[in-house]
Structure 1
């Protein structure tokens, strides 16, 4: 039977008819229908289709243990945030909002004690980030794990700094105390461009989109019996809060990194005076709720 535009979807779906996993069958069927619909709508030439395949191939070739270009592509297309948003609809409204993982969670964060600094360079504006982890009813969660990573004051992560930063700089894995509290020292991160030296950067240039993200610190917070949350803390007043290249800003995640002039508090935390401080309390949804 000749393959035709009119019957293309039916022909391809028939080839997947014996897929044993119901969810896989549902996903494949949706993909085929939308992919063929896209092709009929756009009607690419063979040369354009080959160019598209070359673009996806280049994305894969750009990935390594320190770089995830496919996540970056998903991010700039808004796909990552759409999946996050749909997932959030299944979570408690009073849980901390989630947002994108980003392409730089590719290195295991070093274990650090509460109060330690994630910054080993000492070249940025010192700050203290503190908070608590609790259930929606306010019950504190002792022993919660808080994984953090961030760019430096020049807007780059350790894995993309060309050796300027040691691996692990800007990263830390902390354990909340018996009252669910956590605190650590860092520097105020800068806004920065996502990597533009690969195919995703070429796409942004071709479409005249800027590559910038507002200043933020990444968090993954988890505890047994609770749904983990992947989120950010955004620096209030940062550039690009209204035009994040990956659409990840949520107002509930924006925090004031306020200037604190308190010599006693600075000495207690091992910081110069004055310093900057941000408060970020995390609420985790109980698993199965």
Structure 2
């Protein structure tokens, strides 16, 4: 290997070092990463101090990760990378419900609950019912699909953000669709909220004069044998920040009106105070390739 090289020669030598990588996909990824990363560095020509700051930022991002917080996912989210990955993969299954980001709070196992249960029993505030069906792209209902749900409360907090205030599992549920593919559950209408800003990602947002808010939503992760896994949201129509999500995850097809239902008999049937709000969300899965 040469001892005195210019920038372009150095890039070529690094690329050559990966030429015997046995795994062709890994070889492709490392080659592309090297080429783009070296081009980026040449483009911005960072000072040594700036390079050290970048290393420090990434180091602190890793150190901020815990069992209930994933700062690297948060960084990927605010840079739009998470949504880009979802969008690229979603192009393979255009007939299915739109996918969106997993987010940083899918960090604990959701408790198994029955259809119709209250998934936020410790939360106070306006109540809602969410219902829908899990179906295939041809409209066939999918029974016994596993539906993992997690959401913030009416103050914009997830359970893992408030130890001692919320029990782990509040705002979460693991449901199974019925023989007709149907599901329904009770909850509180979630609030818009800021993503965590007490770490490196928060520093990035403040440095770039960006707000940290996400519009109100409920997360869904749906799986069923023979179908591709789907990670998606239902966004509450009319929520603040619906047009400026900090993680770029809003898709128009996922915005649903939570209409007010004033019928006391409907409320009693659901075991919920009247009036309540109702959101409808049918989820379409794509068969595995």
Structure 1 length-normalised TM: 0.98
What's the CA shift for 1:278?
0.3
| Post-superposition CA distance 1:166-191 (Å, at most 9, x none) | 11110000000011000000000000
Conserved 8 A contact 1:114-1:184:
yes
Conserved 8 A contact 1:132-1:140:
yes
Distance in 2 (CA, whole Å) between partners of 1:97 and 1:163 is: 35
The answer to whether residue 123 in structure 2 is matched with residue 135 in structure 1 is: no
**What does residue 57 of structure 1 align with?**
59
What's the CA shift for 1:14?
1.4
Conserved 8 A contact 1:141-1:179:
yes
What's the CA shift for 1:222?
1.1
1:25 to 24, 27, 37: 27
The answer to whether residue 122 in structure 2 is matched with residue 121 in structure 1 is: yes
Conserved 8 A contact 1:98-1:230:
yes
What's the CA shift for 1:5?
1.0
User: What secondary structure sits across from 1:98 in the alignment?
Assistant: coil
Distance in 2 (CA, whole Å) between partners of 1:8 and 1:260 is: 66
Distance in 2 (CA, whole Å) between partners of 1:32 and 1:122 is: 48
Instruction: Provide runs of 4+ in structure 1 moved above 4 Å.
Output: none
| Post-superposition CA distance 1:66-102 (Å, at most 9, x none) | 00000000000000011111001111x2210000000
Deviates more, 1:161-170 or 1:195-204: 161-170
What does 1:207-246 correspond to in 2, within 5 Å?
Answer: 207-246=208-247
Conserved 8 A contact 1:100-1:231:
yes
What's the CA shift for 1:3?
3.5
| Post-superposition CA distance 1:107-155 (Å, at most 9, x none) | 1000000011111224121100000000111110010111000000000
User: What secondary structure sits across from 1:7 in the alignment?
Assistant: helix
| Post-superposition CA distance 1:249-279 (Å, at most 9, x none) | 0000001111001111111111011111100
Q: Structure 1: which 5+ residue stretches go unaligned? A: none
2:88 to 86, 89, 112: 86
The answer to whether residue 54 in structure 2 is matched with residue 68 in structure 1 is: no
Distance in 2 (CA, whole Å) between partners of 1:231 and 1:84 is: 10
RMSD (CA atoms):
0.8
Conserved 8 A contact 1:3-1:11:
no
User: What secondary structure sits across from 1:283 in the alignment?
Assistant: strand
| Post-superposition CA distance 1:18-45 (Å, at most 9, x none) | 1100000000000000000000000001
Distance in 2 (CA, whole Å) between partners of 1:218 and 1:124 is: 19
The answer to whether residue 258 in structure 2 is matched with residue 253 in structure 1 is: no
User: What secondary structure sits across from 2:34 in the alignment?
Assistant: helix
What's the CA shift for 1:163?
2.3
Distance in 1 (CA, whole Å) between partners of 2:10 and 2:232 is: 41
How many residue pairs align between the two structures? Answer: 287
